[in-house]
A and B are shown apart, each in its own frame.
Chain A
Amino acid sequence: MDILIGIKFCGGCNPRYDRKLKKEEIENKLFTFFKALKTQFNIEHAREDAHYKYLIVIGGCSTCCASYDQYKADKVIKIKDISDMPIEIYSFQEEQNGVEEIL
């Protein structure tokens, strides 16, 4: 089964970095990562009627005030800074019996 990943943005009242570019960066990295693992994944804007393995909340500042209680997700990962990456997802490789340093 595909890994389903949801993306939720904060509302962007005073973002300290470009959240849209960050989303693209994350998507590109995850694409490389899951390709190496030969695992299918889907990434989409979070919907309330889906169940996500990972929900990535992209907040424009350290407050990261986006609401996400309405979504179903096994794990919620918050991005609050330009340098943050959803590193928790990389532990997925351990679950899949270890792939060498991919990222």
Chain B
Amino acid sequence: MLMTGTEYIESLRKLNTRVYMFGEKIENWVDHPMIKPSINCLAVTYDLAQDPEYADLMTAKSSITGEKINRFAHLHQSSEDLKKKVKMQRLCGQKTASCFQRCVGMDAFNAVFSTTFEIDEKYGTHYHENFVKYLKYIQENDLVVDGAMTDPKGDRALAPHQQKDPDLFLRIKEVREDGIIVRGAKCHQTGSINSHEHLIMPTIAMKEEDKAYAVSFAVESDAEGVYMIYGRQSCDTRKMEENADVDLGNKQFGGQEALVVFDDVFVPNERVFLCGEYDFAGMMVERFAGYHRQSYGGCKVGVGDVIIGAAALAADYNGAAKASHVKDKIIEMTHLNETLYCCGIACSTEGYATKAGNYQIDLLLANVCKQNVTRYPYEIVRLAEDIAGGLMVTMPSEKDFKSDTVVGKEGETIGDICNKYFAAAPTCSTEDRMRILRLLENICLGSSAVGYRTESLHGAGSPQAQRIMIARQGNISEKKELAKAIAGIK
């Protein structure tokens, strides 16, 4: 059953998720002005799936039930599926100009599916069967699941078991006959509050001493002992201003992250997918990170499409569109953006079947993809800010533009003065110019910069994590042989 966006929002109201913000419990978080834009983003992933114009990317046939499902809950069955995933993410980025939050869950599904198969093969456990049942439930009910990997990690120089506070990596506190008790937290959780469920994975590869930290499981977002503390974003309280519109840049959509705390949470056995098999923690992490590094070759490209469009409009409105350097900057932005897309498509095209049957991306190319994502969006926003001009950060508020307060000697209002001095090309209204500059502000350094900039840098692993993978996958010994052969070295 595919939900509509409205049904999704209504389904959130039935949850008793504990959400805290500004030191207080938020009772009606679904309608909270700072949270609502991120919920709207997820609603888009439902509405697009219902629309024949987008359904080819947004839906897939379940490999478990044969039914039509949202692609965000799909196990990729081919390279074609992997490519469609990237295209779907580009589409969602275009429609929201924000982080739409549903990919972490999808990437976690695919990583946990294939890893549990191989754990069971080695240890005779039943994690894969547990997971397939779980995913079937998710697919049939069209739910959003937060893919939770990142632990607080405490002192980065120490392994989980060496930390002074044992809770700095999420851990198994107790193993019971019917399940496990877990304790700890997950940081930076994208879309966690808007998710029906959380799927937890370990954050790093582990050794035997860290056995208690090698754990993967699923819980409802409102499970007993789970709560969330909302993450602040730059300019976030603008959303709380009365009748806020132009100043938001993107009134409708936005991203969301939170700290998710697990305060001695009981997880029944059927929802456990890894419990102490530390030698598989690395595989789960690597597979999830691989998929997630591919993802950024889609979602950030879609947002990039909006930035390029906004920069081109800003140039039109400023009257600078014909300048050759401006045209060249738009070309450069397009080149950078499409390079990221090339990487997303390339690692998908080179995908391969895992033992469990779902498709995995090419790891080297996915890491190259994400490494580029840690850089190019920064250059894209630099160029956008160059084209936009300084007004995107110095412009008075919408209230000023609409103000009737008389300030001029000839009775001019603040609104008149703003509209007089911020008018530009005759083809556009001052309000339209404000709108496009505020949109750029929102993505380049406002609340959506969380998703477009810092998430591009650290999400799915900081740059160094990709360089380690590139070093491992780089096939340097073969390259040496190639050079020796050409140079005539025996």
Question: Do chains A and B stick together as partners?
Answer: yes
Contact of A11 among B61, B91, B302, B305 (CB under 8 A): B91
Q: Does B84 contact A (CB under 8 A)?
A: yes
What residues of B have a CB within 8 angstroms of the CB of A82 in the complex?
Answer: none
Q: Which of B52-60, B100-108, B215-223, B357-365 contacts A (4 or more CB under 8 A)?
A: B52-60
Contact A13 B88 (CB under 8 A): yes
CB of A91, distance to nearest CB on chain B (Å): 27
Per the CB 8 Å criterion, the residue count for chain A at the interface is 15
Contact B55 A9 (CB under 8 A): yes
What residues of A have a CB within 8 angstroms of the CB of B186 in the complex?
Answer: none
Please, how many angstroms separate the alpha-carbon atoms of A67 and B88 in the complex?
A: 14
Report which residue of A7, A10, A13 has the largest number of chain B beta carbons within 10 angstroms of its beta carbon. Answer: A13
Please, how many angstroms separate the alpha-carbon atoms of A48 and B91 in the complex?
A: 25
Contact A13 B52 (CB under 8 A): no
Please, how many angstroms separate the alpha-carbon atoms of A20 and B87 in the complex?
A: 19
Contact A19 B53 (CB under 8 A): yes
Q: Does B128 contact A (CB under 8 A)?
A: no
Please, how many angstroms separate the alpha-carbon atoms of A19 and B88 in the complex?
A: 17
Give the contacts of B230-258 with A (CB-CB under 8 A): none
Contact A13 B87 (CB under 8 A): yes
Give the contacts of B53-104 with A (CB-CB under 8 A): 53-58, 61, 80, 83-84, 87-88, 90-91, 94
Q: Does A80 contact B (CB under 8 A)?
A: no
What residues of B have a CB within 8 angstroms of the CB of A45 in the complex?
Answer: 52
Please, how many angstroms separate the alpha-carbon atoms of A29 and B122 in the complex?
A: 62
Contact B83 A9 (CB under 8 A): no
Please, how many angstroms separate the alpha-carbon atoms of A7 and B53 in the complex?
A: 10
Q: Does A86 contact B (CB under 8 A)?
A: no
CB of B312, distance to nearest CB on chain A (Å): 16
Closest to A68 in B: B56
CB of A28, distance to nearest CB on chain B (Å): 18
Please, how many angstroms separate the alpha-carbon atoms of A65 and B84 in the complex?
A: 9
Closest to B93 in A: A13
What residues of A have a CB within 8 angstroms of the CB of B87 in the complex?
Answer: 11, 13-14, 65
B-facing mask of A17-39, CB < 8 A → 1, else 0?
00110000000000000000000
What residues of B have a CB within 8 angstroms of the CB of A13 in the complex?
Answer: 57, 87-88, 90-91, 94, 302
Contact A11 B83 (CB under 8 A): no
Contact B305 A14 (CB under 8 A): yes
Please, how many angstroms separate the alpha-carbon atoms of A91 and B35 in the complex?
A: 56
Closest to B71 in A: A11
Contact A12 B91 (CB under 8 A): yes
Contact A9 B53 (CB under 8 A): yes
Please, how many angstroms separate the alpha-carbon atoms of A60 and B240 in the complex?
A: 39
What residues of A have a CB within 8 angstroms of the CB of B80 in the complex?
Answer: 65, 67
Contact A12 B57 (CB under 8 A): yes
Contact A8 B56 (CB under 8 A): yes
Please, how many angstroms separate the alpha-carbon atoms of A13 and B338 in the complex?
A: 13
What residues of B have a CB within 8 angstroms of the CB of A20 in the complex?
Answer: 53
Which residues from chain A sit less than 8 Å from chain B, CB to CB? 7-14, 19-20, 45, 65-67, 70
